[in-house]
Structure 1
């Protein structure tokens, strides 16, 4: 049944173009000695709670390969008490239970909004997926790891309400852009992996804030200097030398483990968040046998403009379909 859904979804992807508007732009606490107690403790991820089992629908997945406008419902749902702890859930009222695509906006960790992800959310919903487009606390609201914590809380809430939203809680992926790509990758390498997470996609993801801090020093471009400032704000306003444990917690590659989800990252060759950052994570995951692919495009485009480059959105859609329809 799942392969049939995947074939239908893959065919539908050819008919859609995902256009989105995001702003350029975050694992577990360090797995090393010397980490503050608050960061060193690795609680069981909230998303590991097992949702109440429900019967699998008997409807044929081929009957609803793509959603009509009347089939899709959208609702804004709170996953916490904060003003930004909200998510838009796009789900299907008919057909089989759908896999989930979680969308995480960019914006330097200090700005951006889920509203900028409406078009891409709609496109994935029309491909037949449930979509969760989420906001999270910005660096001005709370320092790291609040952004990772919020994303895990959103995942937990969506999984717990899987029946309500006609969703399969054990098949989901994360797609993050720039700063949102950092958050997605950090969730993907949190602890020893989250149950049900099949893959993580980053478009211009900031994998190594420490690398960005170094690149934004003397001689750095305007964007590199800004990224250095916003990464420092994410760390609570302190430089790496002042709070090394916080910065270590923000380094995604340092937290790779065998239980992590497969990943796909996309960069432009000469953008201000270089492919080298993702190569660091690729090498770390390789040590544990976790597959990761990196797609490098020519030019300097970052985040949304990069996603709009010919072939990028299609490559991401195909990768997502393969991951969500895999039995592994």
Structure 2
């Protein structure tokens, strides 16, 4: 697939993006709960990616006028008073109408990144008839594996508990994740009912099950011939920091966190959206073979020329949205 696009000067959109980012309530008001690793931001990813792709721009389309926003909502308060927060983007519609929902999970090596990076995606999904939620989760600077997985399952339970407020069809809930967020999304989606990941007291009467998964360049296996995770030769890798141990010290944890090892007849349909960086989707083909054997639908959409953080940039942002919507409409029968 080819795209021929023209864009304004870089300085203009960088200033506009920065001003827009500061004005958004969820970011302007939320204090940092722990020392943050800022090694992965949209800007740093852009600076790196444009060396090979000089025409890319950060994807920040104008917020659609057809949606509502409920920013910076606490979805669970942890011991010690730490509040986990999320943002909801939903269509303006008649009160009796309901919509499928999508929980969006940011990337950043389980250590960096921020939920604000996928606000444009959430807004565009809301404009297409979805209740889109961007949720924070505890990073490895604050809590090791499996806290992030537990947090995201709690966010799903919160979503169902507030379905009436945001007009959610609770039978049609998806999870979408990029990079580390893709691994987390797929692990959440393949471990429904697993008590290891259903921790905490928040909304325990609700289900965290999802009916669809979208994995954008998230690894499916850590200890795998295709995986590049766990290279500690120059210092602890992102995964080692998340697990709190190297893969030689605690291979059981690294295997436990691999979505590939949790595929079952209860796994929902999966869409894989991938860049040209093969190690970022390690285990994908093995997982698809397992899904095929179980009669579970999956599909792959690829941008072979794209860098790893493709969902953040034009020209890949819009087709990523369209692939996501087409898949969800097929799965949810809209």
Using structure 1 for the length normalisation, give the TM-score: 0.69
1:52-91 correspondence to structure 2 within 5 Å: 69=65, 72-82=68-78, 83=82, 85-91=84-90
Alpha-carbon contact 1:216-1:228 (below 8 Å) kept: no
What residue in structure 1 maps to residue 307 of structure 2? 301
Give the conservation status (yes or no) of the 8 Å contact 2:75–2:83. no
The aligned residue for residue 162 of structure 1 is: 163
Question: CA shift at 1:124, angstroms?
Answer: 1.0
Runs of 4 or more, structure 1, over 6 Å off, are 192-195, 224-228
Change (3 A) 1:280 1:198: same
Output the CA distance in 2 between the equivalents of 1:213 and 1:150.
Answer: 28
Q: How does 1:130-141 map to 2 (within 5 A)?
A: 130-141=131-142
The reply to whether residue 197 of structure 1 matches residue 206 of structure 2 is no
The whole-number CA distance in structure 2 between the counterparts of 1:322 and 1:227 is: 44
1:315 correspondence with 2:311: no
- After TM superposition, the structure 1 = structure 2 runs for residues 45-124 of structure 1, keeping only pairs within 5 Å, are 69=65, 72-82=68-78, 83=82, 85-95=84-94, 96-124=97-125
Matches of 1:71 and 1:295 in 2, distance apart?
27
**Is 1:244 matched up with 2:233?**
no
Given candidates 218, 238, 241, the residue that maps to 1:233 is 241
Choose between structure 1 and 2 for higher RCO, CA contacts under 8 A separated by at least 6 residues.
1
Q: Could you tell me whether the CA contact under 8 Å between 2:67 and 2:89 is conserved in 1?
A: no
Unaligned runs of 5+ residues in structure 1 are 1-18, 25-66, 219-223
Q: Say whether 1:208 aligns with 2:221.
A: yes
Contact 1:171-1:196 within 8 A present in 2 as well: no
CA distance in 1 between counterparts of 2:103 and 2:91 reads 15
Structure 2 spans left out of the alignment, 5+ residues: 1-16, 22-40, 46-62, 195-206
Compute the RMSD of aligned alpha carbons. Answer: 3.1
Residues 215/117 of structure 1: CA separation in 2 closer, same or farther (3 Å cut): closer
Conservation of the 8 A alpha-carbon contact between 1:208 and 1:253: yes
> What TM-score results when the alignment is normalised by the length of structure 2?
0.68
For 1:226 and 1:132, how far apart are their aligned partners in 2?
36
- Give the superposition deviation at 1:308: 4.1
Alpha-carbon shift at residue 307 of structure 1 (Å): 6.7
Q: CA deviation at 1:196?
A: 5.8
Matches within 5 A, 1:236-275: 236=244, 238-269=245-276, 271=277, 273-275=279-281
